[in-house]
Amino acid sequence: MHMGDYTELRRSAEAATAGVWRYGPGDGEDENPIVFVDLPQASGVAISILFEADWATDADAKFVSLANPAAVLAMIAESEVFEDGMRSLASTLGAGGYNAEALTATQLVEKVQWGVNHLADTSGRLADELRAERDQLKAENELAKMRIKELDLLFGRYILAMRSALIEEEHGKGLVAAMQWIYNALAGPGELPPEGETDSQAYFDREIVAVDRGMDEVMAFHEARRAAMSKEAQ
């Protein structure tokens, strides 16, 4: 039977005698088992005997009483809900062909299983990619932190050299010795001015443009960040 192929079974159950089906011993001398059905009437409940079985078919009689029309229709309804859920799950999982008319329960389960496996593979792949990105970002973050620390220490070294130069000029060997402090601080990391530069003011005015432009970008970034944080706090 294909999924949802309950037409004949439903038609038979709906056409059968409605009511509460029961099983019990008969009233005759042999007390053969009987399947009853309680039929609601305006004046009460009428009892109708569907059939009387012999002891050899006792198990069949019990089964018939349990597999009554109401039970069959309820099972069909539950099966249809399950089928709809399975088709919806197959659709969500991207399993193709889940709405095919000639689709058996086994085939639908296989499609859902394929979808689950596909989702697991995709999720595993995405997880690996996210872990790789996380590790890369972590490495880049560590590199950026060390670069910032390096620049901060280098800047601190220049400040320290200039302060030492002032001390040397005021309290030490004078201006020439003071300039040696600055020279050594620049020569160490290779930051001496180009040999062709002879006009200090022209050199400064030319090079400070890029520095000021970069500082403007930094200040704009911090200002935008403060504004965003202030907006979120409101």
Residue 152 within a domain? no
- Domain count of the fold of the chain: 2
Q: Of 122, 142, 173, which one is at a domain's C-terminal end?
A: 122
Residue 139 within a domain? no
Q: For the chain, first and last CA: distance in Å?
A: 63
pLDDT single digits (tens) 131-184: 999 999 999 999 999 999 999 998 999 999 999 999 999 999 999 999 999 999
Q: Of 122, 153, 168, which one is at a domain's C-terminal end?
A: 122
Q: Are residues 22 and 114 in the same domain?
A: yes
Cβ neighbourhood burial of 7 (10 Å; 0-12, 13-18, 19+)? exposed
DSSP strand pairing (44-52 vs 33-41): antiparallel
Residue 116 within a domain? yes
Residue 162 within a domain? no
Q: Are residues 118 and 203 in the same domain?
A: no
pLDDT single digits (tens) 26-71: 665 556 677 777 766 555 445 566 666 665 577 777 888 888 999 9
Residue 35 within a domain? yes
Q: Of 122, 156, 190, which one is at a domain's C-terminal end?
A: 122
Cβ neighbourhood burial of 80 (10 Å; 0-12, 13-18, 19+)? middle
Q: Are residues 11 and 118 in the same domain?
A: yes
Residue 177 to residue 172: CA distance in whole angstroms:
8
Q: Are residues 118 and 204 in the same domain?
A: no
Q: Mean of the pLDDT values across residues 104-122?
A: 79
Residue 46 within a domain? yes
For residue 18, give the DSSP letter.
Answer: P
For 99, the domain range is 7-122
pLDDT single digits (tens) 60-107: 778 888 889 999 999 999 888 887 887 777 777 666 655 655 567 777
Q: Are residues 13 and 117 in the same domain?
A: yes
Q: How far is CA 171 from CA 118, 165, 177, 179, in A?
A: 78, 10, 11, 14
Using alpha carbons, select from 69, 76, 11, 9 the residue that is nearest to residue 35: 69
What is the per-residue pLDDT for 1? 43
